[in-house]
Chains A and B, each alone.
Chain A
Amino acid sequence: MNWVWTNFDMIWGLTLSQIWLSVIPIVVGFLLSIPLGYAASRSKAARSILLSAGGILYTIPSLALFVSIPVVIGTSLLDPTNVVIALTIYSVAIMVRSSADAFASVPEPVQDSATAVGFSGWQRFFAVELPLAGPVLLAGIRVVSVSTVSLVSVGSVIGVSSLGFLFTDGFQRNFFTEVWTGIIGTVIIAAVFDLLLVLIGRLAMPWNRRVSDRKLRRVASRSAVPVS
C-alpha cells in the first residue's frame, strides 16, 4: 500500500493516459457504427457484408494489429496513435452489430406512422429511429467500453504507457503489489465508464426507465465476441 502512495503521481499519470486512450476509440467507434449499423439494418446485403467484415477484423490479434498499423500508415512504433486506431477498429467491429440490431429493433408500426404523419427522411432518423435505437445502442456501447479499457493495457507491451505498464513491470520485477494496482485501477476505470454510460442513458432516455435490464443484457451478450 505504501508503494501506491509513494508512486501515486506515476499511477495517476498512467490512469489518465489509459482514460484518453480508451475514450477516443469508444466515442469514435460509436459514431462510426451509427451510419454503418443503419445501412446494415436497411439492406440484407449490407448487413451480411458489414457484419462479416466486423467479425473478421475482431479476430485479428490485438498485438498483431498494434505492430502492423505503423507499417500501414507510417507512424513510429511507439506512437500511441497506433493503439488508438487499432482499438477504434475493434470498437467499430463490435459496435456495428449492436447498432444494426438497434435500428432493426425500432418497431415497424412506429416507423410507418412517423412517415404517415409527415416526418421527412432526416427528421425521422434523428427524431424517431435514433432515439428508439438508443436502449440497444447503449447496451452495445457498454460492452465496447469494457472491452476497450481492458485492451488498452495490451498496448503497454509495445511501450504505449497505460495502467498495463504496471502489469508488465510488476511481473518482470516479481512485485505483485504493482500488478494488483494495475488490475484494480483498470477495473475501476471500466466500472466508472459503465456507470457514466448508464447515467447518460437514464438522462437521455427517461421514457425507457421501465424497460428491464434483463432484456438489454440479453442483447449485449449477443453482441459480445470473445477477445483474442
Chain B
Amino acid sequence: MIEFRNVTKQFPDGTVAVDGFSLVIPSRQFTVFVGSSGCGKTTILRMINRMVEPTSGQVLIDDHDVATGDAVRLRRSIGYVMQQSGLLPHRRVIDNVATVPYLTGVSKKKGRQEAFGLLRTVGLDESLAYRYPAQLSGGQQQRVGVARALAVDPNILLMDEPFGAVDPLVRAELQTELLRLQRDLDKTVVFVTHDIDEAFLLGQHVVIFQKGGIIAQQGSPAEILANPASDFVASFIGADRGKRRLRVSDIAADNGELLLVDGNGHPAGVIETDDPRLGAGTGPKSRSVSNKTDQAGDA
C-alpha cells in the first residue's frame, strides 16, 4: 500500500504543483493516474521514489515513511519506466537491463544471465541483446525499459507515460502485454497517462486528476463510467459528448455483424454475436440496439 498524507509540493520557483494531497494506492493492483498536461501526475509519482521531495506531508509505503530511509536504496527497490525510455545510450541492451543489479554489486556474468531471462519476459528477441539502444525501435526501447525496471524484482512499478511516444498499434500490443505481466508478476503498478482510454483499459483503480493535483474522482473504470462525479469528470471521460454512448448504426457491416457508432455518429466498432436477437438476418435498417431487441420480441 502506498499512502500520501496531506502532501504539498512547492518548487523553488514558487510553483505549487500539489497542495494537501491525500491518496491510498492499493497493493498488487494496477492503479492509473490520468489527467491533462501539467496537473501534477509526474510530481506525485516521483514523490514515491523521492525524485521529488515533498515540501510538507508524508509518503508511506506499507506504513513506512519513505523520507526516513536512504533515497538511493529506495529507488533501487522500485521499478521506474518513463516516456523516453531513458536507457543509457552508451551501454548495450543487455547491460541496460542489468543496470541496477550491477549497481548493487552483482557480477557482469550473473547480471547478464538474468537479463537474458528478462528480455524473454518482455518479449524481446535475444539477438537484440548486444545492440545499443539507438539501434532499437521506440517500442523495443520501451520493452527494454520495462525489463530494466523488473530486474530487481520490485514490488512496486512506477510508469510515467511509458507508451506515450509509440504508435497506436505497438501501444496496443504493449498494453496487452503489460496487463499480462502485471497479472503474472502480481506487482503494485502506478501508471501515468493522459489518455482516458488507456486508463480505463489498464486500470483496476483509476484516479482522475484536475489541475493542481486535485483528485476529481477515483474508482474502478465501471464506477467512474456509470457515475461521473462531476461535469469535469463527465467531460474528461467523454460522457458529455456522447462518446461513451454507443448505438447500432444504420449501416450493416459484413456477415451480419452490427456496426456501432457513438453519440456523434463516429464509428466505434462492431458487435460480434451469436445471439439471434442481435445478430443479423434481416439486415438492420435505422435501428438502435433497443429497437432491434424490441423487434425481435415482436417476432
Contacts and interface: CB of A to CB of B under 8 A. Distances in A.
A61 interface: no
A132 B91 CA distance: 10
Interface residues of A, number: 21
Contact of B88 (A114, A118, A210): A114
Interface string A96-131: 000000000001011011111111100100001001
A91 to B, nearest CB: 26
Interface stretch (B74-82, B199-207, B290-298): B74-82
A152 to B, nearest CB: 34
A116 B89 contact: no
B71 to A, nearest CB: 9
B90 A112 contact: no
A120 B49 CA distance: 14
Contact of B82 (A112, A207, A208, A210): A112
A-side interface mostly: helix
Contact of A120 (B72, B84, B89, B100): B72
B93 to A, nearest CB: 11
Contacts of A131: 90
Contact of B103 (A113, A118, A205, A207): A118
Interface of B: 49, 51, 72-73, 75-76, 80, 82-91, 99-100, 103, 132, 134, 148-149
B76 A117 contact: yes
A116 B49 contact: yes
Interface string A197-222: 00000000101101000000000000
B19 to A, nearest CB: 24
A110 B89 contact: yes
Contacts of B149: 117
B271 to A, nearest CB: 42
A132 B76 CA distance: 22
Given A131-B90, A205-B90, A118 B82 contact: no
Interface string A76-111: 000000000000000000000000000000010110
Contact of B89 (A117, A119, A207): A207
Given A118-B72, A119-B103, A120-B72, A113 B87 contact: yes
Contact of B134 (A118, A120, A210): A210
B86 A118 contact: no
Nearest to B158: A116
A132 B90 CA distance: 7
Given A107-B89, A114-B86, 20 more contacts: A112-B51, A112-B86, A113-B80, A113-B82, A113-B85, A113-B86, A114-B88, A115-B75, A117-B76, A117-B148, A118-B72, A118-B76, A118-B103, A120-B72, A128-B88, A205-B90, A207-B89, A207-B90, A207-B91, A207-B132
